[in-house]
Amino acid sequence: MKITEMAHLYVKTALREGGVAVDATAGNGHDTLFLARLAGPGGRVYAFDIQEEALQRTSALLQQENLLDRVKLIKAGHEQMSAYVNEAVSAVMFNLGYLPGGDHRIVTGKGTTLAALKEALTLLQNGGVITVVAYPGHPGGKEEQEALLDYCKTLNSREYRVAYTFYLNQAHHPPVLITVHKL
């Protein structure tokens, strides 16, 4: 099972039809599509990306699946999440790094990602989940992962359950999964 598939399993436990979710890094649109399907016709998904190319790819995928009406595409950094989302959310998904097939020099960074995680925590309803797929192999990726882990260790265990999942037997800095469940 891929680490991204594990993230989907966690989100399935928290997001129900009619729910609200955030894709903090729209990218090619796969997580946005997944969230839109789970949220159903009465639900809503906010999808963020700083790259127009990513939003165009996401839009095309959603149009192909007739689900664009469930999603609000936002060209902004994920650290600005609460400026656009004014309601409690059941799930927030992050898939960090760079846009696959895009400019690999444009990557998420520890400062904005940490700020976005903090914003996501303020929007997350009880029983909700945040998933963060991090890639320590790209430039700055290890520092981003470590900053997220250091911050998550400080979260109150009476309010949140934090898990860290990684593959021990994969070479070349495989991706990791951080999940935050709000109790």
The predicted-structure confidence for 80-120, as pLDDT tens digits, reads as follows 999 999 999 999 999 999 988 999 899 999 999 999 999 99
**Cα–Cα nearest to 92, from 37, 133, 64:** 133
Backbone angles phi, psi at 110, to 5 degrees: -60, -35
What is the pLDDT at residue 138? 87
Could you list the residue range(s) of the whole structural domain that residue 102 is in?
3-182
Which residues are registered as beta bridge partners of 176? Answer: 134, 166
Backbone dihedral angles phi then psi of residue 136, each to the nearest 5 degrees: -75, -5
Among 76, 82, 135, CA closest to 107:
135
Q: Which of 28-37, 38-47, 76-85, 102-111 has the lowest mean pLDDT?
A: 102-111
Number of domains within the chain: 1
Q: What is the CATH number of the domain that holds 41?
A: 3.40.50.150
Of residues 157, 78, 135, the one with CA closest to residue 112:
78
